Structure 1
Amino acid sequence: MAMGRRAAGRAGVSHPVFARIYPRINASAEAHGGLEHRRELLADATGRIVEVGAGTGANFRHYPPGVERVIAVEPEPRLRELARQAAPDAPVPVEVSRSGRAEELPVPDGSVDGVVASLVLCTIGDVPAALAEAARVLRPGGRLYFYEHIRSADPRFARVQRVLDVVWPLLGGGCHLTRDTERAITDAGFVIERARHFQFLVNGRATPSSPCVIGVARKPAAA
């Protein structure tokens, strides 16, 4: 079976400063509702899963019993090591891949039941390529589980996001504030089955990355 357009994992991603502070950022997010969001994202996951941009492995402990195996891909070496440390404590088998990026997944065509993208599509350089890879590795009818911060539907808030997006990626490991993730998913041929939009508030206050969506999209079954 094919393993992607190029050799998987040919180039890594290095954000050493962001990788050092991200565990604290994630801990703060989880203290303000992030744990519940991860549980919601993964509640219906089943079968074989590829998790794209696994980060520190924060999702691992939330996979339900119906998941047979998780193949986790994280190109940033410091975060990947943290994910490896988290894997043994997961309630389901987790393999942290030694190679691979969202645009070049080290998984054969049509070999998994689900792809998980959790707070990662904001950072990827080529989102259409990453979503094409998700579609490639999914079986017909397989599902994409996504949890992302997105461009605000409020024009005034979106203008602020656009201004900040000049410097935000430099501070946030390549993270962008203004992506229309749902449109990118549908443009890639997925059918969105459900999506919940909400404001992720910290101590009751909005941040530039507060507009969020959690949802599930399906790869159409073969004709």
Structure 2
Amino acid sequence: MAPFQNPFFARLFQRIGDRNEARGQAELRRELLAGLTGSVVEVGAGTGLNFAYYPDEVTGVAAVEPEPSLRSEARRVVASAPVPVPVSVVAATADRLPFEDGSADAVVVSGVLCSVADPVAALAEFARILAPGGELRFYEHVRSPQRVRALIQDAADLVWPRLMGGCHPNRDPLATMRAAGWLPVRWRELIFPYGAKISVVAPRVLGVARPASAREGGAPG
């Protein structure tokens, strides 16, 4: 089996993804992508759940997906569903993106920093391909600030990544961004599915970050 081939996770991803869209995640996707313009690279595009929500001001999306089954479904979505902007789907990984330095106005990730083997290397690639003034839009699982819930996430992390395509439920993406030289400039914490009390991936964060070298500060939204 190829390194990124995971048909079990691909089937599970599609099933869970469809259910979560009906639970209200579509609105979170709209929030994630609102206001984007120009050229966008979406890393870890999965089955293309974000595609329908890109604003018309986006001139094109290069959607990166390493898993073959998910990539095939994303291409089917582009070919058969109403997608408001041009989308190309490419095979690559977050730490080795096939794009020139400074070629993207924005990078988009949703459920990616929890699952890549080396999130710092991935964030370095995002910074490399961003044009001056570009930004990272992120929607990620987070380690819960509640001690008991965080301990449950730690316990789940022993088996969860094997079942869920490498997803670690207890990572802290905001801390990782800062350590990798990024500055989160706007974000909000949430629980999804709304009201969930058991799910180890319910604590989440949605927001915007820029390379710290841009020197643009901010505060939680």
C-alpha spacing 1:188/1:203, structure 2 compared with 1 (3 Å): closer
Which residue of structure 2 lines up, in the alignment, with residue 26 of structure 1? 17
Question: Please, which runs of 5 or more residues in structure 1 have no aligned partner?
Answer: 1-10
The one-letter amino acid of 1:172's match is: M
Q: Is the 8 A contact 1:119 1:148 kept in 2?
A: yes
SS in 2 for 1:82: helix
TM-score, normalised to structure 2, is: 0.91
Alignment map for 1:178-193 (pairs within 5 Å): 178-193=170-185
Alignment map for 1:1-223 (pairs within 5 Å): 13-88=4-79, 89-97=82-90, 99-201=91-193, 204-219=196-211, 220-221=213-214
CA deviation vs aligned residue, 1:119-165 (integer Å, no higher than 9, x gap): 11111001101000000000122100000011001111100000011
CA-CA distance at 1:55 after TM superposition: 0.2
In 1, Cα distance between the equivalents of 2:203 and 2:58?
29
Query: Could you say which structure has the greater relative contact order, defined with CA pairs below 8 angstroms and 6 or more residues apart?
Result: 1
Aligned residues: 211
**Between the two proteins, what is the percent identity of the paired residues?**
50
In 2, Cα distance between the equivalents of 1:119 and 1:190?
18
The one-letter amino acid of 1:92's match is: V
In 1, Cα distance between the equivalents of 2:193 and 2:29?
16
In 2, Cα distance between the equivalents of 1:221 and 1:210?
31
- The CA RMSD measured in Å over matched residues stands at 1.5
Question: Please, which runs of 5 or more residues in structure 2 have no aligned partner?
Answer: 216-221
SS in 2 for 1:142: strand
Q: Is the 8 A contact 1:195 1:215 kept in 2?
A: yes
CA-CA distance at 1:201 after TM superposition: 2.7
